[in-house]
Amino acid sequence: MKNFVIYSICIAFLAPQARTAEPAPLQGYSPDSARDERDWEAKFRAIPDPAALRAYMLHLTARPHHVGSAYDRENAQWILSQFKEWGLDAKIETYDVLFPTPKERLLEMLEPARFTARLEEPTVAGDATSSQHGEQLPSYNAYSIDGDVSAPLVYVNYGVPEDYEALDRLGISVKGAIVIARYGGSWRGIKPKVAAEHGAIGCLIYSDPRDDGYYQGDTFPNGPFRPADGVQRGSVMDMPIYPGDPLTPGVGATKDAKRLPLSEAVTLTKIPVLPISYGDAQPLLAALKGPVAPERWRGALPITYHIGPGPAKVHLRAMFNWDTKTIYDVIARIPGGAYPDQWIIRGNHHDAWVNGAEDPVSGTSALLEEARGLATLSRQGWKPRRTIVLCVWDGEEEGLLGSTEWAEDHAEELRRKAAVYINSDTNGRGYLQVEGSHTLEKFINGVARDVEDPETRLSVWKRLQLRRMANPAGPGGAPAAPADRQELRERADLRIGALGSGSDYTVFLDHLGVASLNLGYGGEDDGGIYHSVYDDFYWYTHFSDTDFVYGRALAQTAGTAVMRLADAELLPYDFDDFTDTIHRYIEEISKLAREQRDQIVERNRQIGEGLFTATEDPRHKTVPPPKEAVPPFLNFAPLENGLAALQRATGLYDQALARATLGDANARLIAVERAFTLDDGLPNRPWFKHQIYAPGLYTGYGVKTLPAVREAIEQKQWKLADEQIVRVGKVLETAAAAIQAVFR
Ligand SMILES: [Zn+2]
């Protein structure tokens, strides 16, 4: 084995302002190979071309291309032909998945007045593709069960668990009712799930103009926001249980896969669901009486928001074709020279709900430009050390079908070979947005320093750092607190968020334990065309990244990341930022447990003092909250011990880096990532195996870190919390041992 000296990246990061003629060292590279790498990367970043990105978008969005449509398949074949034309080794892999489409949709108000919802998105003059009604998938929520129900209506705000606590206080039950929830506040699939748990028999979801309509800005086609008849389609599959084909959990949906009967598919909703526009929602909401909705529940419709129940009574009929459809994943491979069995995987989906210019083609186009760039370099003599796998997924919108089925199908090989997965999805103008595994936090900071922001010519890293100081919550938000500003100035790396769910990284990170990143640009344009017929080429080229320079920035960022991972002599995982982040998570959850306890003690005391009955307005009756058992103190020592082991191992790893021989350190680094998973997964959802990150059972997309412990505390399951603290503490110790074994 060649003696291998790894130059510590710390030198570069401790002095980010230093300017020298010599390029900064690269983590995982010897000086010579770092120089080569920087040359190839610079050549790569010169390739992505806004005109090409525009042409891809024009082609891919020309017709609706949802799963099962003719154009979905044509797009996959066109992408395949592009890959081949560029000289890449590519193929299409197909799976057969359950994909319901609407057979009948009816929503009418029966009382106190008759009204029938239109449930249609009209053609907009000037927007050519908005008229393709024959090929458009009607507005609906996929994986709603069939249903025909009539009942009084109740307005439930966003329809998340806290909203039902507020309803309890008002003495309002949704048992036997149809609820109407507005989009936002959680992933949409949580709304019918929580409604059903509270006894509702149907669920409507509408887009309130306050959230993405005229309250935010001019509506389409005069502006980017949602018009009165715009509807957000979307999946309501119970993805926090498992994503992918509902009939083949844990295995690839190949032709001969063993399938569950439809009646055993637990990720379908329990009640019928239908999404509607605010044009259709307004008459229903206006007909509600009962208590006036609390201020934070009120939207921007010109009505007084009441909660009900009734007197509005509605009839909802939603019936579906429960068909099996073929999905088409396009997969290209650039074989690695030194480590062909270590894979760097890069993906973005190609399917859309309708024409899908922003979601997903803004990201798909960037991936195609990366593929063209890497193919060009290959012809010029560049050969990656590791194998690069480029994936253009189908069926993301319905429930991450293409990525999940492919990864389940190839799970055994991926567990051995997959080093990193890099995802993107929608892309727009603005700031770099990164979430992912914190073992890659330092790495992606390094990449961000080398990509130029098209608007300011600063590095995208610098622009993001300054933006976080100015207004971390986004434009118009408050500036960062002093302690945060200090950290932003002094910490070598900008923190990255953790991954929940909502795109194709889910199976790689959560199911297989592959370190993952999700990349994109955004924050300067908003809009209200998400999952509607108006998310099309006309909208994107009028209101988003109109000159495709942020498409180019995404291709440059993700492409640089892929090359730098694929070419490194030693995989550039880093455990300092990771351990620092775990430390924060443990502090967060012990604080959460303390606050939960304090709140319950205080509220029980208030109930004893008669506070709720004394302060009640007799004309607006409310129900005092029930007394709760005071939770026990939890023992966080096993997590603290796990953290201490991680800190020790990380220190030893950093020391070993300076004098280590490479050996099979790379393979053992890949094994470290797998050590964060447990075979039997999270409590009651074994498909989710990662013990550091998971989408929340009641947030859907929103992440829960140290999920087994955090969710047990949130759900007040104290015994479970105690057990999970021990279990996750062991995971941290196992990971620490794996880190220490890298250079054994
Ligand atoms: Zn998408």
- Categorize the per-residue pLDDT at 475 as very low, low, confident or very high, splitting at 50, 70 and 90: low
Report pLDDT for 637.
98
Nearest partner of 667 among 567, 563, 738, 579, judged by Cα: 738
User: Does the pLDDT value for residue 569 go beyond 80?
Assistant: yes
- Res 24: pLDDT: 78
Judge whether residue 12 has pLDDT over 90: no
- Span from the CA of 509 to the centroid of ligand 1 (angstroms): 17
pLDDT in tens, 638-672: 999 999 999 999 999 999 988 777 888 999 999 99
**Structure confidence at residue 7 as a pLDDT band (50, 70, 90):** very low
Q: For the chain, how many residues are written?
A: 744
Mean pLDDT of the chain: 94
Q: How far is CA 613 from CA 292, 510, 607, 620, 622, in A?
A: 20, 47, 8, 12, 9
Say yes or no to pLDDT of 2 above 60: no
Q: What is the pLDDT of residue 661?
A: 78
Task: Give residue 236 CA to ligand 1 midpoint distance, Å.
Answer: 15
Give pLDDT, residue 6.
40
Question: Alpha helices of 17-135 — where are they, by DSSP H?
Answer: 31-45, 50-60, 70-85
Is the pLDDT score of 222 beyond 50?
A: yes
Burial track 467-488 (b if 16+ CB lie within 10 A, e otherwise): bbeeeeeeeeeeebeeeeeeeb
| Residues near 191 by beta carbon (within 8 Å), at least 6 away in sequence | 156, 158, 159, 160, 179, 181, 203, 205, 236, 273
- From the CA of 208, how far away is ligand 1's center (Å)? 21
Q: What integer pLDDT is reported at residue 720 of this predicted model?
A: 97
Per residue in 518-546, pLDDT (tens digit) is: 999 999 988 999 999 999 999 999 999 99
Angle between helices 70-85 and 50-60 (to 10 degrees): 150
* Res 691: pLDDT: 98
Residue 662, pLDDT score: 83
Q: Is residue 231 packed enough to be buried (19+ CB in 10 Å), middle (13-18) or exposed (0-12)?
A: buried
The helix/strand/coil state of 32 is helix
pLDDT > 60? residue 3: no
pLDDT mean over 721-732: 98
Q: Is 381 helix (H, G, I), strand (E, B) or coil?
A: coil
The pTM of this model reads: 0.95
Per-residue tokens: 179: 């609820």
Is the pLDDT at 4 greater than 70? The verdict is no
Q: Tens digits of per-residue pLDDT, 167-210? A: 999 999 999 999 999 999 989 999 999 999 999 999 999 999 99
- pLDDT band at residue 86 using 50, 70 and 90 as cut-offs: very high
Task: Yes or no: say if 316 and 272 are a contact pair by the CB < 8 Å rule.
Answer: yes
CA distance 138 to 125: 20
Question: How much is the average pLDDT of 385-414?
Answer: 98
Nearest residue to 724 via CA among 687, 685, 668, 671: 685
Contact assessment for residue 517 and residue 440, using Cβ atoms and an 8 Å cutoff: yes
CA of 425 to the centre of ligand 1 (A): 5
CA 540 to ligand 1 center in whole angstroms: 15
User: Average of pLDDT values for 364-368?
Assistant: 98
So what's the pLDDT on residue 648?
97
Q: Determine the distance separating the centroid of ligand 1 and the alpha carbon of 645, expressed in angstroms.
A: 39
- Cβ atoms 237, 694 nearer than 8 A: no
Identify the band that residue 371 occupies on the pLDDT scale cut at 50, 70 and 90. very high
Output b/e per residue, 297-324; b: 16+ Cβ within 10 A: bbbebeeebbbbbbebbbbbbbbbeeee
How far does the centroid of ligand 1 lie from the alpha carbon of residue 505, in Å? 12
In whole angstroms, give the CA distance from residue 600 to residue 718: 13
Separation CA 292–CA 308 (nearest Å): 9
Residue 104 near residue 272 (C-beta atoms within 8 A): no
The helix (run of H) or strand (run of E) holding residue 235 is strand 234-235
- Distance from Cα 243 to the centre of ligand 1, integer Å: 15
744 CA distance to ligand 1 centroid (A)? 42
Q: Which helix (H) or strand (E) element contains residue 244? A: none
pLDDT at 476: 65
Percent of all residues in the chain with a pLDDT value above 90, rounded to a whole number: 90
Cβ-based neighbour number of residue 170 at 10 Å: 16
